């Protein structure tokens, strides 16, 4: 019976080790997914803000009066 108990203990320890590794791996993957999701959301938000700013800049440029081009002075020889 003592041998059976020793085998059972070794099996339990082995199972706990595998289970712990699996839980740690799942936690790391979950954290990585959360970081990636947050990064994607921030990128989308910043992209939207940039596009809005570019649209406002184009609109302001279209509404602004055109600047007359400066003429160059010609030098007579």
- Tens-digit pLDDT profile for residues 66-77: 777 777 777 776
Tell me: pLDDT of 44 over 70. Answer: yes
| 4-15 tens-digit pLDDT | 799 999 999 999
Give the predicted TM-score (pTM) of the model.
0.58
Say how far apart CA 37 and CA 39 lie, in whole Å.
Answer: 5
Task: Name the residue ranges covered by the structural domains of the chain.
Answer: 29-60
CA distances to 3, 4, 5, 6, 41 from 13, in Å: 15, 14, 12, 11, 42
Tell me: pLDDT of 46 over 80. Answer: yes
């Amino acid at each position: 019976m003592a041998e059976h108990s020793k085998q059972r203990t070794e099996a339990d320890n082995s199972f706990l080790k595998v289970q712990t590794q699996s839980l740690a791996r799942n936690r790391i993957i979950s954290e990585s997914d959360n970081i990636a999701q947050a990064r994607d959301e921030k990128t989308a938000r910043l992209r939207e803000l940039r596009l809005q700013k570019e649209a406002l800049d184009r609109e302001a440029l279209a509404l602004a009066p055109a600047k007359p081009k400066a003429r160059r002075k010609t030098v007579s020889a």
